[in-house]
Structure 1
Amino acid sequence: MALIPAQARSKTLRACLLCSLIQTPADWKKVGCPNCEEVLGLKSQPEKIAACTTTQFDGVVAVVDPDQSWVARWQRTAKYVRGMYAVRVMGRIPEEVEVALERRNIKYRPRDQTEMD
């Protein structure tokens, strides 16, 4: 497996604004978000992918065993699939997505480590 330089990474990999999972653009298009697909519907939706993911993120953690990982608990990813997660993502999901989450009784917590309004 080849390492991706940080500068190239920021232009190619994208992190989900809801769960912070990191994937390639091709993976976002092919499978959407394995954690959030039911609520975000990103698969094969380039506009939604652009709105609900970002290239702006800090730090990367590998979660191999989400149930046993203290890092996954700290990052609030313990119930998600194993994979690479951003420690912090910059940006927020679109307002209409946030409203849709509220309708489903899902509390949105921004992953940019700021307080919500």
Structure 2
Amino acid sequence: MSIETIPKNMRGLRACLVCSLIKSLQQFVDDGCDNCEKFLHLKGDNERTIDCTSPCFNGMIAAMDPNDSWVCKWKNISRKHRGIYAVSTSGTLPPRIAAELRDMGVRYTARMRDATQ
């Protein structure tokens, strides 16, 4: 895990709406999403980063070895990069971005928490 991936402050954190990786807004703008950059194109785009991430999420999972973690398998992040992940997020991608992903053949499933929790 790169030290740049770990949030440096607990304030202003956001979770990627596609993979649930947690970083600060500035980290997403500076570096993009470690898992989704090839199709989300967040790097350098503040507005798109705000559209594709959420400040509302529950819990955190520190994934040091996602391939060997039962928690990562349970949350479907076992094939993702090392990092800090949200257990659940609130929000969905804007329809235009969801359509872009669909056109690229990228499967997007909202990682929202249940309303009862």
Task: Report the TM-score, using the length of structure 1 for normalisation.
Answer: 0.85
**Distance in 1, Cα, partners of 2:110 & 2:91:** 8
How far 1:17 moved relative to its partner? 0.5
Q: Which runs of 5+ in 1 are unaligned?
A: none
2:111 counterpart residue number: 111
**Distance in 2, Cα, partners of 1:91 & 1:103:** 21
Identity score, percent:
36
1:13 counterpart residue number: 13
User: What code does the residue aligned with 1:105 have?
Assistant: G
How far 1:108 moved relative to its partner? 1.1
1:84 counterpart residue number: 84
How far 1:49 moved relative to its partner? 0.7
2:59 counterpart residue number: 59
The CA deviation string for residues 8-39 of structure 1, in whole angstroms up to 9 with x for no partner, is: x4x51110001000001221111010100011
1:72 counterpart residue number: 72
1:48 counterpart residue number: 48
> Aligned with 1:67: secondary structure?
helix
**Distance in 1, Cα, partners of 2:101 & 2:43:** 18
Structure 1 residue ranges (4+ consecutive) displaced by more than 3 angstroms after TM superposition: none
Task: Report the TM-score, using the length of structure 2 for normalisation.
Answer: 0.85
**Distance in 2, Cα, partners of 1:21 & 1:77:** 9
How many residues align structurally? 107
Q: Which runs of 5+ in 2 are unaligned?
A: 1-7
The CA deviation string for residues 66-106 of structure 1, in whole angstroms up to 9 with x for no partner, is: 11011111111111100000000000011111111111222
How far 1:61 moved relative to its partner? 0.5
2:30 counterpart residue number: 30
